[in-house]
Amino acid sequence: MRVGRENRYAGPHSRFFSASGALMFRLLAFHHGRRLDREFLLAQGSWYVLGRSEGCTIQTDWDERISRRHAEFEVDSHGIRIQSLSGASNPVFSAGAEIRDAVLSSGQSFVIGETRFELQQVTQTDSPGISAEGSIQQLAIDRQQLQRVRYDDATRRIEVLTSLPSVIRESGIERDLHVRLASLLLAGIQNADGAAIVGLSDQQKARVFHQEQRFDAGQLMQPSARLIANAMEQQKTILHIWDHAEHGTQYTQVAGFGWAFCTPFSDLAGERGLYITGRSLVDAKDSGELRLHADIKFTEFIADVITALQRQRRMERQQSGLRQFFSPPVLEALGRDLDTSLLEPRECEVTVLFCDLRGFSHRAEEEANNLTGLLERVSLALEVMTSQILRYGGVTGDFQGDAALGFWGWPIASAESPLNACRAALAIREEFARAQADPGHPLKDFETSIGIAHGRAVAGKIGTREQVKVTVFGPVVNLASRLESMTRELHVSVLIDESLDRLIRLKMSPSEGRVRRLLQVMPYGMDRPLFVSELVPAEDRMGILTNQHLADFEQGLSAFIGGRWADAWKFLHRMPAEDRAQDYLSMLITQHDRKAPADWDGIVRMKKKSG
């Protein structure tokens, strides 16, 4: 054992092990029932001293009830022989009995003070590539220790760091990034002779995504699966040092290397590690060890930069994907870290808007020779719809050919959600009206129909981490679609359900929008009647339809429902000629010679599905 060199690396958070001989045991430490971040490998034919003293090969500075030199260990073919030293202040217990000289085998444990030690035999599978003649040391590097380390060759390292962001941005594919990173690591770490980007397979074997070596050793290095696994598990740099100069051994490496460390980082594709290895530090003494600490500090800084930039790239991709679904206020609520837990599907109160282009199928047949031009115009129409949905804080849930679905109330509930859905509908209506008034506008011959309904539904995201789609499920979605279809028969642009009618009358200013009740109807395929209302722009934006007109219409509707069809006829015919909403009721009244049927109950039953 080379105690002097081990002590220079050991620290309050370090783990080290030494191995010599074919039979080895792993010694695990548990303090107050919690497993410590330390383990020791005991090799056949070697002696070990356990205690709190810095000179002990198994240093236990965490437990004051363990003496400075408390016990000795020897590994032989029968197991671990443990002897309590004469100066030990507390006894050693195993299986509830005090022991002074005993042999323990794999699976057994012993207790000193407040610490329990457990023995586990190490198999070749546990530690692949460990030679029977090697001396290996494993250290978990604590960042607080590295803060005091000063960089050597700072100019070269700064050059590497300044090029790192562009390397990450300009790497189109993952392999590109790995190739450039390995080259950068070798450029910035003169002490390194090999660099690799590594990970673990499902079978916990080492995966090498790319590696570079500074010299030709005749074969590629073989990174240690155990080293990588420990670094990934603890999420900190793990260092291995072995004495190949004395014994000529390999520690899952090619000959010529004497140390390796692995620093974990997060890549877009998952957890990865920066694996750095080099030749022996035996001749370097203290200066070589200090350079190695500086190299670890430098590598950890690179790992932090990679993780931060990759995280930013992931966020930008997510933000770009989510921008087509969510309004800026919703994205802001999700936060810079994109708290996607808010996007998980859940049942909630939502307001659903379904917007479609009228007569699209007929127009597609007419423009069969110019489908590309038609597609561009339809895309422009959908952009008008979605931009207003997002403007008023909605979520664009789906596209169905020439139709768009938007909804409010998820992922963030708001008392304004139903009103904002209506505001979006009025804005869409106004945009298309403005286009129709412009002979040169590409949307001049497009008309929209909108249905809005409010109720409970399940809303949430589906998809993967890189690409997410949001949608809403429930009867309220079907109702919004039905209302949109009914706009054609009732000759209006926007239909809403009864709950929205009440809400608008109560909370929306007439300067924003108005409503008029149109009909009590039983839609085809449904078993419950409902009142449907038209959402109408403010009077100053639709002067042909005054507030008095709306009042007259609703009086006519009241008379119609009550069976006084002659009175209803008079009120309905007070509407301006440009208003088509009275056409449907007028037609029904005319068909029955202005007299309600004997079995009239005030409900109009649709004979077929609208559309």
């011959």: which residue's tokens?
445
Q: Which residues of 570-583 are buried (b: 16+ CB within 10 A; e: fewer)?
A: ebbeebeeebebbe
DSSP string across 328-344:
HHHHHHHTTTT-GGGGS
Mapped onto helix, strand or coil, the DSSP state of residue 372 is helix
> Which residues on adjacent β-strands are paired with residue 98?
93
Most confident of 158-162, 226-230, 324-328: 226-230
**199 vs 275: CA distance, rounded Å:** 9
Mapped onto helix, strand or coil, the DSSP state of residue 276 is strand
Mapped onto helix, strand or coil, the DSSP state of residue 40 is strand
> Which residues on adjacent β-strands are paired with residue 238?
140, 262
Task: Look at 450 and 209; give whichever has higher pLDDT.
Answer: 450
- What is the pLDDT averaged over residues 318-331? 61
**241 vs 7: CA distance, rounded Å:** 13
285 backbone dihedrals φ, ψ, rounded to 5°: 55, -145
Residue 178 has pLDDT above 80, yes or no: yes
Considering the chain, tell me which residue range(s) the CATH 3.30.70.1230 domain(s) occupy.
337-496
CA distances from 192 to 148, 272, 295, 441, 460 (A): 21, 19, 8, 66, 49
Across all residues in the chain, what is the average pLDDT? 79
User: What number of other Cβ atoms are within 10 A of residue 170's Cβ?
Assistant: 10
Q: Which helix (H) or strand (E) holds 24?
A: strand 24-31
**524 vs 501: CA distance, rounded Å:** 22
- Superfamily per CATH, domain 144-319: GAF domain (3.30.450.40)
- Per-residue pLDDT band for 450 (boundaries 50, 70, 90) equals very high
Give 75-130 pLDDT, tens digit per residue: 877 788 999 998 898 999 998 899 999 999 888 999 999 999 998 886 543 443 33
Considering the chain, tell me which residue range(s) the CATH 2.60.200.20 domain(s) occupy.
3-139
Sheet architecture: strand order including 194-200: 136-140, 238-242, 259-267, 270-278, 194-200, 206-213
Residue 358 has pLDDT above 70, yes or no: yes
User: Which of the 8 DSSP states describes residue 326?
Assistant: B
Supply the pLDDT for residue 42. Answer: 78
166 backbone dihedrals φ, ψ, rounded to 5°: -70, -35
Sequence-distant (≥ 6) Cβ neighbours of residue 406 within 8 angstroms: 352, 353, 355, 385, 386, 389, 394, 395, 396, 397, 421, 424
């559309």: which residue's tokens?
611
Residue 334 has pLDDT above 90, yes or no: no
Sequence-distant (≥ 6) Cβ neighbours of residue 41 within 8 angstroms: 17, 18, 19, 24, 25, 26, 27, 122, 127, 136
Mapped onto helix, strand or coil, the DSSP state of residue 417 is helix
Supply the pLDDT for residue 251. Answer: 45
Supply the pLDDT for residue 281. Answer: 57
User: What number of other Cβ atoms are within 10 A of residue 163's Cβ?
Assistant: 14
Task: Look at 34 and 332; give whichever has higher pLDDT.
Answer: 34
User: What number of other Cβ atoms are within 10 A of residue 128's Cβ?
Assistant: 15
- What is the pLDDT averaged over residues 335-359? 79
Task: Look at 133 and 526; give whichever has higher pLDDT.
Answer: 526
- Tokens in use for 187? 């450029």
Give 215-266 pLDDT, tens digit per residue: 765 556 788 888 888 888 888 888 887 644 443 333 444 556 778 899 988 7
Residue 441 has pLDDT above 90, yes or no: no
Considering the chain, tell me which residue range(s) the CATH 3.30.450.40 domain(s) occupy.
144-319
Are β-strands 47-51 and 58-59 bridged in parallel, bridged antiparallel, or unpaired? parallel
DSSP string across 350-369:
EEEEEEEETTHHHHHHHTGG
Give 510-556 pLDDT, tens digit per residue: 999 999 999 999 887 778 899 999 999 999 988 899 999 999 999 99
CA distances from 259 to 138, 191, 237, 244 (A): 10, 11, 13, 9
Supply the pLDDT for residue 19. Answer: 37
Supply the pLDDT for residue 150. Answer: 62
**261 vs 277: CA distance, rounded Å:** 6
Residue 565 has pLDDT above 50, yes or no: yes
Give 7-48 pLDDT, tens digit per residue: 333 333 333 333 333 477 888 888 887 888 677 777 777 788
**116 vs 454: CA distance, rounded Å:** 63
User: What number of other Cβ atoms are within 10 A of residue 102's Cβ?
Assistant: 18
- Superfamily per CATH, domain 337-496: Nucleotide cyclase, GGDEF domain (3.30.70.1230)
- What is the pLDDT averaged over residues 391-409? 82
Nearest to 535 by CA among 578, 566, 581: 581
Q: Which helix (H) or strand (E) holds 267?
A: strand 259-267
109 backbone dihedrals φ, ψ, rounded to 5°: -140, 165
CATH number of the domain at 3-139, out of 3.40.50.11030, 2.60.200.20, 3.30.360.10, 2.30.40.10?
2.60.200.20
**86 vs 11: CA distance, rounded Å:** 27
> In the chain, pLDDT over 70 holds for what percent of residues?
73
Supply the pLDDT for residue 318. Answer: 60
Q: Could you tell me the pTM of the whole model?
A: 0.52
Task: Pick the range with the lowest mean pLDDT from 38-47, 294-303, 424-433, 559-568.
Answer: 38-47
Are β-strands 71-76 and 79-84 bridged in parallel, bridged antiparallel, or unpaired? antiparallel
Nearest to 12 by CA among 62, 85, 63, 65: 62
Give 468-497 pLDDT, tens digit per residue: 567 888 999 999 999 999 999 999 999 999
Nearest to 419 by CA among 481, 509, 343: 509
